[in-house]
A and B are shown apart, each in its own frame.
Chain A
Amino acid sequence: MACGKAEPVSTKEQRIGEIVAEHAGREGPLLPILHDVQHEFGCVDAESEAHIASALNLSRADVHGVVSFYHDFHARPDPRPEVQICRAEACKARGVEALIPAAEKAAGERVKLSTVYCLGLCSAGPSARVGDRLHARLDAAGLAKVIENA
């Protein structure tokens, strides 16, 4: 199954080969490689797994086991912008749960809302993350604005 930008298969294989080569000097290079592949193609699909496995002399099952273990790697790309909302204890204590129904409504089909357990802004929740941009002390209006601008 192809994913990400519509590129010919050979290009993808080549690009993955380059990524693997960039991490050649590292001990235990699989996670850094998977991060780069996820970043570049928006997912780590079965095809990428096969290329990575052969480049690192691992079995496909080994690579798939790792990809499926971590929350950050996805088997399919999702073109929607993502808003991560922290729903861990400290944000719950500051009322994040009450904001969720309205946030889901604001997100609709356009924005992907995901739950994250802790962004480390626990004294100033509720908090959210879009890409590398963090937002804290959110109320219903603030969160709606973050989702709108995502």
Chain B
Amino acid sequence: MPQSRIVRISDDALARALGADELAAAFERKGHEVHRTSSWGMHWLEPLVEIEGMGFGPANIGDVDAILDGSSEKAIGEIVEHPFIARQQRLTFARAGQTRPTSLEDYLATGGGIGLRRARQIGPDKVLEEVLASGLRGRGGAGFPTGIKWKTVAQTPAEQKYIVCNADEGDSATFADRMVMEGDPYALLEGMAIAGLAVGATQGYIYVRSEYPDSIRKLNEALKHCAPIIAPFRCEVRVGAGAYVCGEETSLLNSIEGKRAEVRAKPPLPAIEGLFGRPTVVNNVLTLAAIPHILEEGGSSIYDKLGVSRSKGTMPIQLAGNIRHGGLFEIAFGITLRELIYDIGGGTESGRPVKAVQVGGPLGAYLHPDQFDIRFDYEEYTEADALIGHGGITVFDDTADMGQMARFAMEFCAAESCGKCTPCRIGAVRGVELIDRIRAGGRAADAVEIQPVMHNAPKQGRLPEQEIALLTDLCETMKYGSLCALGGFTPFPVMSALKNWPEDFMPRETAANVAERNDA
């Protein structure tokens, strides 16, 4: 009987969706000890098998024997030496791939708990000072300085305050929150406990979307184990119900309160009147998970030294869509899109040229290859009429139809609008119709317009360029008239697609209009 070895396989949802459970069972049947760890974030290699530091992937059950006898063609060498890993600056994801997610023992053995212990020693004022000094900005998308938000809550007197973690990660191309919750749940809980200590809140809520069953399970398990450590801070997991708009902080608060998740007008800011009308810190998972490191001795100055201009520290960037090396890549701000897509991501998976890249999820702009020198930095993206959002990058190859993608952006907004404000609720529906008409080559005059009494109405219908002017106008209205980012940012993908790929908005060559032309 050969010697039993320790085999490490991730139990992240993505690895499990690709058969990691079955693979783990196969190694166990061979008499080996399987440790289910978090994911390294090299998703194209999942399920990734690690034995004594050496990696094999993407592995399936048929590879088990070859991996064990060392003859597998799926060997990638030493994992920590892999260029994708070696190039990163992992702070939030320092434990990725290395610990068992819900093992408190693993967490404490890898520096877990130090931040909270130190926070208790130095007290709330110093904690606030250090978070401010670190330059940390909200990782959810808006990029608001975390220290200022915390300070506002700390300075607002109230009998009860709350820490709310926004884990409603609904943006396509984003999965970093999910990987924290599934891979390092204690780091998030520690961050929340530190936030509670800093602002004087004893109750926390983590609002997780229902599409993340693994995250919900692991957070609840982790909470059970670490309750005595984070006490007197208490925390509860709340499960969403399939509404994308809950990623907006005020609608998330309404949802926890048990209401329709409609957006609230601001002011009042949640920091002053938030959950149940009380001062509330609402932070994204990545923001809170960055806190334990910042609170370690010297952590805030390390954080402040990384990055560029006002974008400090590291950003867990998510490479998704049609990309060869997709996964999680954490690095200091300032890296260019070109490096991310080609040097790190290896170009498209299909092998075709890159046509467009959407940064920042469904509400982010589509960037053209001409713009790929843009550096990852909040301000630089804002200047380019784009946004970093939650750091998700979706790559499209040259088969993508950008007119169709622009239409989808409007369709998505219409499906997910909370209905509170008119530009979003109605504008999105009109946007879909307009894009359809542009792509159909304009429209004929309608029944009312052709009435003789309608003296001022155009009698010849509308040309595509007139419809495009209308779409541009609609986007302006949505951008400046919507209450939240859903309606306000939907114009980003639409207008960027229109600007960069106008040919994709040209009338489709359909059988009907070919016949029409031939008749004429």
Contact surface of A with B, Cβ cutoff 8 Å: 26-32, 34-35, 65-66, 69-73, 88-94, 116-125, 127, 129, 132, 134-137
Residue B175 lies at the interface, judged by CB distance under 8 Å to chain A? yes
Could you tell me which residues of chain B, from 324 to 373, have a CB within 8 Å of some CB in chain A?
326-327, 349, 358, 361-362
Cα of A91 to Cα of B395 in the assembled complex, Å: 10
Cα of A93 to Cα of B324 in the assembled complex, Å: 12
Contacts of B256 in A (CB 8 A): 27-28, 31
Residue B259 lies at the interface, judged by CB distance under 8 Å to chain A? yes
Contacts of A66 in B (CB 8 A): 258-260
Of A27, A66, A71, most buried by chain B (CB within 10 Å of CB) is: A27
Could you tell me which residues of chain B, from 231 to 279, have a CB within 8 Å of some CB in chain A?
236, 238-244, 255-261, 276
Q: List 12 A-B contacts (CB under 8 A).
A: A31-B239, A71-B241, A71-B243, A89-B408, A90-B394, A93-B322, A116-B211, A117-B412, A118-B172, A120-B175, A123-B318, A123-B319
Residue B85 lies at the interface, judged by CB distance under 8 Å to chain A? no
* Dominant secondary structure at the B interface: mixed
Contacts of A30 in B (CB 8 A): 258-259
Residue B308 lies at the interface, judged by CB distance under 8 Å to chain A? no
Contacts of A116 in B (CB 8 A): 211, 242
Cα of A109 to Cα of B323 in the assembled complex, Å: 35
**A-B pairs with beta carbons under 8 A, tally:** 146
Contacts of A32 in B (CB 8 A): 238-239
CB-nearest residue of chain B relative to A91?
Answer: B172
Q: Is the CB of B174 within 8 A of A122?
A: yes
Q: Is the CB of B241 within 8 A of A123?
A: no
Q: Is the CB of B172 within 8 A of A136?
A: no
Residue B405 lies at the interface, judged by CB distance under 8 Å to chain A? yes
Query: Known interface pairs A120-B174, A120-B178. Does A35 touch B241 (Cβ–Cβ under 8 Å)?
Result: yes
Contacts of A69 in B (CB 8 A): 243, 260-261, 418
Cα of A94 to Cα of B322 in the assembled complex, Å: 5
Q: Is the CB of A122 within 8 A of B172?
A: yes
Residue B171 lies at the interface, judged by CB distance under 8 Å to chain A? yes
Contacts of A117 in B (CB 8 A): 170, 172, 244, 362, 412, 415-416
Cα of A121 to Cα of B212 in the assembled complex, Å: 10
Query: Known interface pairs A32-B238, A122-B321, A136-B18. Does A70 touch B392 (Cβ–Cβ under 8 Å)?
Result: no
Query: Known interface pairs A69-B260, A123-B326. Does A90 touch B321 (Cβ–Cβ under 8 Å)?
Result: yes
Q: Separation in Å of the A103 CB from the closest CB of chain B? A: 17
Residue B169 lies at the interface, judged by CB distance under 8 Å to chain A? yes
Q: Is the CB of A120 within 8 A of B327?
A: no
Cα of A16 to Cα of B255 in the assembled complex, Å: 21
Query: Known interface pairs A121-B175, A122-B172, A134-B13. Does A28 touch B258 (Cβ–Cβ under 8 Å)?
Result: yes
Residue B400 lies at the interface, judged by CB distance under 8 Å to chain A? yes
Contacts of A118 in B (CB 8 A): 170-172, 174, 211
Residue B439 lies at the interface, judged by CB distance under 8 Å to chain A? no
CB-nearest residue of chain A relative to B327?
Answer: A123
Residue B114 lies at the interface, judged by CB distance under 8 Å to chain A? no
**A71-B241, A122-B394, A123-B320 given. 19 additional CB < 8 A pairs?**
A28-B256, A28-B257, A28-B276, A31-B241, A32-B239, A65-B260, A71-B243, A72-B240, A89-B361, A93-B322, A93-B395, A94-B321, A120-B14, A121-B17, A123-B14, A123-B44, A124-B17, A134-B13, A136-B14
